[in-house]
Chains A and B, each alone.
Chain A
Amino acid sequence: MTLERFLYLFTRSYVLYPFIAGIAVSLIAAVIGVSLVQKRYSMIGDGLSHVGFASLAISTAVGMAGSVWISLPIVTLSAVFLLRLRESNKMKGDAAIAILSTGALAVGTIIAQKSTGLGGDVCNYMFGSTSIFAMTPGDFATTVVLALLMFALYLFFYHKFFLVSFDESFGKAIGVRVSFYNTFLAVLTAITIVIGMKMMGAMLISSLIVFPSLTAVRVCRTFRSVTVAAAILSVCTYVVGFALSIALSTPPGATIVIVDIAVFLLFCAIGALKNRVKRG
Chain B
Amino acid sequence: MAYLVCDDLSFSYDGRKVIEHLSFSVEKGSLVCIVGENGAGKSTLVKGILGLKKADTGSVKMAEGHGHSKPQIGYLPQQSEQVKDFPASVREVVRSGCLASRKCSRLGFSLSGLSPFYSGFEKRQADAAMERMGILDLAGRNCSELSGGQKQRMLLARGLCAAGRLFLLDEPTAGLDTAATAELYQLISELNQNDGMTILMVTHDPAVLPRLATHILHIGQKENFYGTFDSYRTTEMGSRFLGGEIK
Residues of A within 8 A of B (CB): 38, 155-160, 162-163, 165-167, 169-176, 216-217, 220-226
Q: How far is the CA of A155 from the CA of B75 in the complex (A)?
A: 27
Known: A167-B77, A169-B81, A221-B89. A155 touches B116 (CB 8 A): yes
Residues of chain B at interface, number, CB under 8 A: 33
Please give the distance in Å from A231's CB to the nearest CB on chain B: 14
Q: CA of A52 to CA of B71 in the docked complex: distance in angstroms?
A: 43
Interface-central residue, A155, A171, A173, A222, by most chain B CB under 10 Å: A173
Decide yes or no: A222 and B162 within 8 Å by CB, A169-B52, A174-B97, A174-B100 being known contacts: no
Decide if B228 is an interface residue (CB 8 Å cutoff).
no
**Contact across chains for B87 and A223 when beta carbons are under 8 A apart:** yes
0/1 per residue, B98-125, Cβ < 8 Å to A?
Answer: 0110001000000000101010000000
Q: B5 to nearest A CB, angstroms?
A: 19
B93 on interface, CB distance cutoff 8 Å = yes
Flag if A220 contacts B87 (CB, 8 Å): yes
Instruction: Report, nearest first, the 5 A-B pairs whose CB atoms are least far apart.
Output: A174-B100, A221-B142, A222-B89, A173-B75, A173-B50
Q: Are B82 and A224 in touch, CB under 8 angstroms?
A: no
Please state if A217 and B87 are interface contacts (CB–CB under 8 Å). yes
From residue A117, how far is it (CB to closest CB) to chain B in Å? 47
Interchain CB contact under 8 A, B116 and A176? no
Residues of A within 8 Å of B26, CB to CB, are none
Q: Cβ of A162 and Cβ of B77 under 8 Å apart?
A: no
Tell me if B8 counts as interface (CB < 8 A to partner A).
no
Contact A172/B96 with A155-B116, A162-B88, A221-B87 known, Cβ cut-off 8 Å: no
Q: Known contacts A159-B95, A169-B81; can you find 18 more A-B pairs with CB under 8 A?
A: A38-B83, A38-B87, A155-B116, A159-B96, A159-B116, A159-B118, A162-B92, A162-B96, A166-B86, A169-B52, A170-B97, A172-B51, A173-B52, A174-B100, A175-B100, A217-B87, A221-B142, A223-B92
How far does the Cβ of B60 sit from chain A's closest Cβ, in whole Å?
A: 13
Knowing A38-B86, A222-B88, say if A166 contacts B93 (CB, 8 Å): yes
Q: From residue 167 to 212 of chain B, which have CB atoms closer than 8 A to chain A?
A: 168
Q: Which residues of chain B have C-beta atoms less than 8 A from A221's C-beta?
A: 87, 89, 142, 145
CB contact under 8 A between A176 and B87, given known A170-B158, A222-B142: no
> Once the chains bind, are B83 and A166 in contact (CB under 8 Å)?
yes
A156 to chain B, nearest CB (A): 5
